[in-house]
Chains A and B, each alone.
Chain A
């Protein structure tokens, strides 16, 4: 009897918190699909208004918005691929190889993990101004080609790969790159997927970094572009249409790769 009551309480709490967590997303979707000033009037009007796609038509006809989407895609997909590949290669070498300078370089990499991005972004800005990289993809693709944290995560995983696997491939005459591509990469699939989804999401959602390195509206990613609409203060329904467009790719990635998010957070937690 008591356990039944407890079960009921848990279900009520679970569903109640679900409603609270989903409410903002519900507001976003209904807001984007309503023509009138969604936010005016009594709550009864929020639901009864007819749905329409006008807001999407209007926002898509605005200058640059498609370009923003493409920019976001470029500066999140390419770094995602390079971060996974370089992180895996570097992780493999630090996990399984001996070479001169290994300890020193590893220690230097490690020390920079403590340093927040804000503490090196200004000199980087000055450097990129000299390179004429402001308002170009280079400002993103080159410095974000790999990531120290994800290199550590992959290295941590690769330590657990048995040496005998690598040794037997070597005896069969496989070159280092062949071993890496044919043995190490396939065996690390889960870790690679974790790094890929986290890199994609954090690059796609990033606001601070692109805010500094793009000043030309054509080069904005979605986040900075939407921020410019938001801080100008436009019509709520347009803004919501824009946020829906920004939200969809992350939502799709989240739904498809859900298990990797949970696993990824669990592994980074252990690592620290």
Chain B
């Protein structure tokens, strides 16, 4: 839209002063925000790196301790266990979220009536606080015989289970909560992915005589690969940061069976006030997330 120069209003003196001010406009905005960024994001992060080499105290002098925190980290059996638990949690959580997300997206995308309503219902847990769902989860998985799941088990003639009070089952119950909460997110991504698949492909498949299962295997699933890759990394990164449900439902127990990296970091930092060590744990977490993102970048680059 180029306007005729003769139609432009003459630039007044005031406008010239304003234009001079406008030259500084980016600096006037970016300057303070960058300062804010340095003070509350970048600075604390760099401090955290330094902190991992120090015995850091909220009050009093902090002392340089070299690699003591890192040495402790490698010898800390509970921390290694928490790493293992986090990985197991990830395995429990990631595959069901992907399967459920894709299944729900296919339902919503199948052209059934009231699809937006169904989509909203599947998405509802995503916008609901962990605190809300955790409170309900306690009741559903109550170890007492009258707990909902135990009643269902009793109906099939099975014995009541301990669930959150059991070393073997607690992590699975927690993963169930997270699956319930995250499936809706995966659904929305997959829904977008399904919408992008050209309909002609399905028609061509039909002409070639492909049935439902074959269509899924040779058309839908391969074409959703970028979506799956994205959801996979996104969900995995999230699973390494799991904390809320553990804090609310088990506190890491029974006997450390559900303590994760972030939970260990919370305990060392904000319960024992071992800030240097907690900072070291948080850097391990960051490195894991960094590696996951790099894996994603490599996979995207090679179009895998």
The segment from A50-58, A59-67, A184-192, A264-272 that touches chain B is A264-272
The segment from B36-44, B79-87, B160-168 that touches chain A is B36-44
**Nearest CB to that of A104 among chain B residues?**
B34
Chain B 1-26 against A: per-residue CB contact (8 Å), 1 yes, 0 no? 11100001101100100100110011
30 contacts between A and B (CB under 8 A): A17-B107, A18-B121, A22-B124, A25-B128, A28-B136, A40-B146, A105-B34, A114-B286, A115-B45, A115-B286, A116-B289, A120-B41, A121-B44, A122-B275, A126-B47, A126-B56, A126-B58, A127-B44, A143-B40, A145-B36, A176-B22, A201-B127, A205-B128, A227-B247, A227-B248, A230-B134, A243-B132, A246-B131, A247-B129, A258-B116
Q: What residues make up the interface of B, taking CB atoms closer than 8 Å to A?
A: 1-3, 8-9, 11-12, 15, 18, 21-22, 25-27, 29-30, 33-34, 36-37, 39-45, 47-48, 51, 56, 58, 103-104, 107, 110, 112, 116, 118-140, 142, 144, 146-148, 151, 180, 185, 188-189, 191-192, 212, 227, 230, 234, 241, 243-244, 247-248, 251, 262, 265-266, 269-270, 275, 278-279, 282-283, 285-286, 289-290, 293
Q: Give Cα distance in the complex from A97 to B22, angstroms.
A: 11
* Contact between chains at B185 and A230 (CB < 8 Å): no
Q: A119-B285, A143-B40 are in contact. Are A99 and B279 (CB under 8 A)?
A: no
* Contact between chains at A122 and B48 (CB < 8 Å): yes
Q: A17-B107, A124-B44, A269-B192 are in contact. Are A172 and B129 (CB under 8 A)?
A: no
Most chain A Cβ neighbours within 10 Å, of B1, B44, B139: B44
Q: Give Cα distance in the complex from A211 to B289, angstroms.
A: 23
Q: A97-B26, A99-B26, A272-B230 are in contact. Are A231 and B248 (CB under 8 A)?
A: yes
- Residues on B with beta carbons closer than 8 Å to the beta carbon of A78: none
* Contact between chains at A226 and B269 (CB < 8 Å): no
The majority secondary structure among interface residues of chain B is helix
Most chain B Cβ neighbours within 10 Å, of A7, A42, A125: A125
- Cβ of A183 under 8 Å from chain B: no
Q: A14-B118, A243-B132, A243-B136 are in contact. Are A142 and B40 (CB under 8 A)?
A: yes
Q: Give Cα distance in the complex from A258 to B123, angstroms.
A: 10
- Residues 1-27 (chain A) with a chain B CB within 8 angstroms: 6-7, 10-11, 13-14, 17-18, 21-22, 24-25, 27
A-B contact count (CB 8 A): 255
Q: Give Cα distance in the complex from A223 to B140, angstroms.
A: 20
The 10 nearest A-B residue pairs measured at CB: A123-B44, A123-B47, A205-B129, A120-B44, A99-B26, A120-B45, A143-B40, A176-B25, A243-B132, A265-B188
Which of A116, A240, A242, A272 contacts B234, CB < 8 Å? A272
- Residues on B with beta carbons closer than 8 Å to the beta carbon of A204: 129
Which of B11, B129, B285 contacts A116, CB < 8 Å? B285
Q: Give Cα distance in the complex from A236 to B241, angstroms.
A: 28
* Contact between chains at B131 and A223 (CB < 8 Å): yes
Q: Give Cα distance in the complex from A172 to B8, angstroms.
A: 7
Chain A interface residue bracket vs B:
35 or more
- Residues on B with beta carbons closer than 8 Å to the beta carbon of A105: 30, 34
